[in-house]
Every structure is written in C-alpha cells, then in structure tokens.
C-alpha cells in the first residue's frame, strides 16, 4: 500500500490541496458532507482513482469515530492529515488523533486554523506518533485596506507549508493584528 493522506474539509478551499496530494502519489481520503462537492474533487483531478470520498458530518462524533476506524482497517496507517474543522465540532480533531495514535509509523498532522489562532492558540493534545504542525490563515494587506485570503492563496499556502514542514506556518499576515479585515 502506498502513502496515505486524509483531508478533512478537503472539498472546499482545500480542494486543490487534496488534488495536489493525489498528484504527488498519495491515496487521499477526503471528508465533507456534500457528496457532489466531494465528487468534483476527484473528477477535476489528474489522478481521480487515488481518492476515497467520505460524506459525513464531523460534528457527529460517533459517525466520525466509525469512519476513522474503518479507514484505518481498510487503508492501514496514515502518513499525512490536513484538517480544516469549524469550531462547531470541538471533538473532531481529537477523534482523528486518537484513531491513529497507536500506529508505529510517524504521521504529520497539518492543522489549518483561522487567524484567531495567532492570538489564542487552540489546545491540541500531544499524541504518540503524531507530528503536529499548525497553519494559521492570516490576511492580506492591500493599501489602504486589508482583505481575507482567497481559496487559491489558502491552497497554495497550505501546500507550501506541507513542503516546508515547519511547526508553525502563517499564510498571509497576522500583524498588525488590529489591521485585520473588518476591525
Ligand atoms: N484567514 C482567511 O483569509 C480565511 C480563513 C478561513 C476561511 N476563509 C475563506 O472563507 C471561505 C469560507 O470558509 P469555509 O470554511 O466555509 O469554506 P470551505 O473550505 O469552502 O468549506 C469547508 C469545508 O469543510 C467541509 N465541512 C464543513 N462543515 C462540515 C461538517 N460539519 N462535516 C464535514 N465536513 C464539513 C465542507 O464541505 P461540506 O460543506 O460539503 O460539508 C468543505 O469541504 C473560504 O472559501 C475561504 O476562502 C478565509
């Protein structure tokens, strides 16, 4: 079995990250709720056969636990997880971490966070075998105003963060914090 990747929320702004991982040789499991949106990720990829599409609501902890357990038994150890999880699902990241905690192989968790993580970093458990990497989505300063990142900027930034593999990466800017859009 080849390299395994999981992208949670991988049918939205991270769709290009899901496709890039597949293009670079990973088998990519993508989680989202809308089946047709998930299918577009594979359909618009140069390697559509390298996807497993899981339509589930990550707010449903039991469903997520069952899906992760099944994924692990069917696909084996994971190498990379990229997660973009809304704060409506505070248990989801931990469920994923614990499911893959006891595999012998190290794996990397790229936790994509909103800009607020710069001011208030989320608490994330340390879990055996998991190398945690935080990616903070900042903003773009375009004189005289600031704007949020586009999907392309986010996807390119996340890909760069995976390639450079630093403990923390920032896409765009987070300072001056009081210059962020809408403030
Ligand atoms: N700092 C910044 O500049 C910044 C930060 C964050 C976002 N943004 C922008 O804001 C826009 C909107 O953000 P967004 O997070 O709504 O967009 P998104 O990335 O387009 O959508 C979220 C992703 O998570 C999935 N998802 C959402 N809720 C889920 C659930 N309960 N269970 C399973 N999967 C779920 C979505 O698929 P389903 O809907 O099919 O479930 C989708 O794949 C983005 O397009 C981005 O450009 C900017």
Taking alpha carbons only, the member of 171, 67, 72 closest to residue 113 is 171
Residue to substitute in 7, 8, 11, 134 for testing ligand 1 pocket (most ligand atoms within 8 angstroms of CB): 11
How far is the centre of ligand 1, averaged over its atoms, from the C-alpha of 12 (Å)? 5
Matching residue, tokens 């055996």: 128
Which tokens hold the place of 129?
Answer: 């075998």
Q: What is the mean pLDDT of residues 7-15?
A: 98
pLDDT of residue 143: 85
The domain in which residue 87 lies consists of 4-179
For 141, half-sphere exposure in the C-beta direction (CA atoms, 13 angstrom radius) is 11
Q: Whose CA is nearest to atom 35 of ligand 1?
A: 32
Cis peptide before 61 (omega within 30 of 0): no
H or E segment to which residue 92 belongs: helix 92-99
pLDDT digits (tens, 9 = 90+) for 33-88: 999 999 999 999 999 999 999 999 999 999 999 999 999 999 999 999 999 999 99
57 lines ligand 1 (CB under 6 A): yes
CA dist., res. 153 & res. 183, Å (int) = 21
Token pair belonging to 130: 């998991």
| Pocket-testing residue among 6, 10, 13, 96, ligand 1, by greatest number of atoms within 8 A of Cβ | 13
Q: Which atom of ligand 1 is nearest to the CA of 12?
A: 20
Which is it for strands 51-55 and 139-142: parallel, antiparallel or unpaired?
A: unpaired
Round to whole Å and give the CA distance between 50 and 42. Answer: 8
| pLDDT higher than threshold 80 for residue 172 | yes
pLDDT at 27 > cutoff 90:
yes
Q: Is the pLDDT of residue 2 over 70?
A: no
Report the 10 Å Cβ neighbour count for 183: 8
Kindly report the CATH number assigned to the domain that includes residue 148.
3.40.50.720
Is pLDDT at 144 greater than 90 in this prediction? no
149 lines ligand 1 (CB under 6 A): yes
Residue 73's CB: how many other CB atoms inside 10 A? Answer: 8
pLDDT band, residue 182 (cuts 50/70/90): confident
User: For 180, which DSSP code?
Assistant: S
Residue 123 near residue 93, CB atoms below 8 Å: no
Contact between 100 and 75 under an 8 Å Cβ cutoff? The reply is no
**Span 97-112, mean pLDDT?**
95
Mean pLDDT of the chain: 96
Overall number of domains in the chain: 1
149 vs 143, more confident: 149
Residue 1 has pLDDT above 60, yes or no: no
């Amino acid at each position: 079995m080849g390299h395994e990747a999981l992208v949670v929320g991988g049918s939205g702004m991270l769709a290009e990250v899901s496709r890039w991982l597949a293009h670079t040789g990973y088998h990519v499991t993508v989680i989202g709720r809308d089946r047709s949106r998930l299918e577009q990720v594979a359909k618009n990829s140069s390697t559509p056969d390298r996807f497993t599409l899981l339509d589930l609501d990550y707010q449903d902890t039991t469903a997520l636990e069952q899906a992760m357990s099944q994924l692990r038994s069917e696909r084996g150890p994971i190498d990379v997880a990229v997660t973009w999880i809304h704060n409506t699902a505070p248990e989801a990241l931990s469920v994923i971490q614990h499911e893959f905690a006891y595999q012998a192989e190290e794996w990397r968790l790229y936790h994509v966070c909103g800009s607020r993580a710069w001011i208030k970093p989320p608490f994330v458990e340390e879990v055996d075998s998991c190398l945690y990497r935080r990616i903070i989505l900042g903003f773009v300063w375009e004189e005289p105003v600031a704007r949020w990142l586009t999907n392309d900027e986010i996807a390119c930034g996340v890909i760069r963060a995976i390639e450079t593999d630093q403990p923390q990466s920032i896409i765009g800017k987070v300072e001056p914090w009081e210059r962020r859009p809408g403030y």
